[in-house]
Amino acid sequence: MQKLTERLVSWASLIDDKTIEQARTSSTMPFIHPHLALMPDAHLGLGATVGSVIPTLGAIMPAAVGVDIGCGMIAVKTQFHASDLDGRDLAELRQQIERAIPLSAGRDNRKIVATAEPRVAELEALAEKAGFDPTTYAGHWRQQLGSLGSGNHFIEISLDENDDVWMFLHSGSRGVGNRIAQHHIKVAQRLAKQWWIELPHPDLAYLVEGTPEFTRYIRELRWAQHFALLNREEMMDRVANQLGRFLDTPVEERERINCHHNFTESERHFGKQVWVSRKGAIMADAGRPGLIPGSMGTASYVVEGRGNPLSLNSSPHGAGREYSRSAARKTFTREQLREAMAGIEYRDTDAFIDEIPQAYKPIDRVMADAADLVTVRHTLRQIVNVKGD
């Protein structure tokens, strides 16, 4: 860990000057307490750095939470062993999963299936209690539940160090969460202009605790976070159903972990109650289970938090980009992606060139930097990868 300024600490050994400068700018906001913490996977983001933990007193910066509210990971350990997959056509399993779950941006379910019905009802009740109608943001939000999205979101079948089979996926609150986030970012920016508040960057606009705008944001944020959690649960149930059908045996869950990495919670740190916005970071309280995925084609990790107080009990959420999507497309080729994905069943397409492992920081370096934040329980290597364009 490095102390970069009085209000900025960093666990990142691989980090560029622009990312440090962005984080330094965020750390100068007057309500930061006690400091902003950069995780090992930190890289440039919208307004605030991805891979940062931002504790604030009496205010929240909506852009510092991220536009994919509640984005995170879920993993399930099954009773199956690698030997159960011997001789099986994994392309068939991948295609089954792709048929069961809508992939890519803008893709939703055609109908609300039986497993989704109680989850939709739960979200309807939660929205009513929060005093807002999610259809004002996305009229088809119910159909979005149980859909993956695109970018770095994925579904994987993986093996751990004992060759036990895991199901693993990454997704968030889809279009409805994004629109909620974008709305409140604009509200914060409008209020900053209205009150002549000078900001070092427009995306550091904030909402003040105790105001109607803050209260509405927290209510809708919490709804979106819960939508994201249930979205992952719904997809995981579908993956489990497909894996069970593929192996002619229902999945028995041995362990299930579901954690956010774009979210805000009220927590107590360094003697004060603060809002902790983790933008690309997971909770890592002592003993808390967590998930840290690598990039497409590299290892992922099931971890346990060590409760490091300087990190505000946090850890990285993944590998962290080294190349932007446009730069990755200019730098790498489809053949290089094929080489990186050797031995892994995936959909071979140019659409995933910007997700090539070389576009990300080496996950083993990130995990080495995080040694005082988490303990590794399992190392996973994927054998099937599903992504949206």
Percent of the chain with pLDDT over 90: 94
- Looking at every residue in the chain, the average pLDDT score rounds to 96
| Phi, psi for residue 274 in degrees, rounded to 5 | -130, 160
* Domain boundary assignment for the chain: 2-21+32-387
pLDDT at 151: 86
Structure confidence at residue 296 (pLDDT): 86
Judging by DSSP bridges, how do beta strands 262-269 and 272-279 pair with one another? Answer: antiparallel
Q: Is 187 exposed, middle or buried (0-12, 13-18, 19+ CB in 10 A)?
A: middle
- At 334 the pLDDT is 96
Question: pLDDT (tens digit, 9 = 90+) per residue, 38-61?
Answer: 999 999 998 789 999 999 999 999
Residue 166: both structure tokens together: 């895991």
Residue 227, helix vs strand vs coil: helix
pLDDT digits 0-9 by tens, 116-152: 999 999 999 999 999 999 999 999 999 999 999 988 8
β-strand 164-171 against 72-81: which pairing, if any? Answer: antiparallel
pTM: 0.96
Alpha carbon distances (Å) from 239 to 70, 71, 99, 187:
20, 18, 10, 38
Burial zone of 97 (CB within 10 Å; 0-12 exposed, 13-18 middle, 19+ buried): buried
Distance CA 350, CA 372 (A): 38
Sheet holding 164-171, edge to edge: 255-260, 72-81, 164-171, 154-159, 374-387, 300-305, 289-292
Tallying the residues shown for the chain, one arrives at: 389
Which tens digits make up the pLDDT trace of 201-251?
999 999 999 999 999 999 999 999 999 999 999 999 999 999 999 999 999
112 Cβ contact partners less than 8 Å away, ≥ 6 residues apart:
120, 142, 143, 145
Question: Cα–Cα distance between 354 and 376 in angstroms, integer?
Answer: 28
pLDDT at 329: 95
Catalytic residues: 317
For β-strands 36-43 and 8-10, DSSP reports them as parallel
pLDDT digits (tens, 9 = 90+) for 10-23: 999 999 999 999 99
Look up residue 158 and give its DSSP letter: E
Q: How confident is the model at residue 389, as a pLDDT?
A: 84
DSSP assigned state of 307? -
Using CA atoms, how far residue 152 sits from 114, 170, 230, in Å, is 28, 8, 19
Tokens of 47: 């307004």
Rounded CA-CA distance 342/376 in Å is 25
Class of domain 2-21+32-387: alpha beta
Task: Grade residue 106 by pLDDT with cuts at 50, 70 and 90.
Answer: confident
Instruction: Provide the 10 A C-beta neighbour count for residue 1.
Output: 14
Burial of 172 (0-12, 13-18, 19+ CB in 10 A): buried
Tens of pLDDT along 292-340? 999 888 999 999 999 999 999 999 999 989 999 999 999 999 999 999 9
Pairing of strands 289-292, 72-81: unpaired
Write down the pLDDT at residue 208.
98
Place of tokens 């440039």: 44
Residues 6 or more apart in contact with residue 95 via CB below 8 angstroms? none
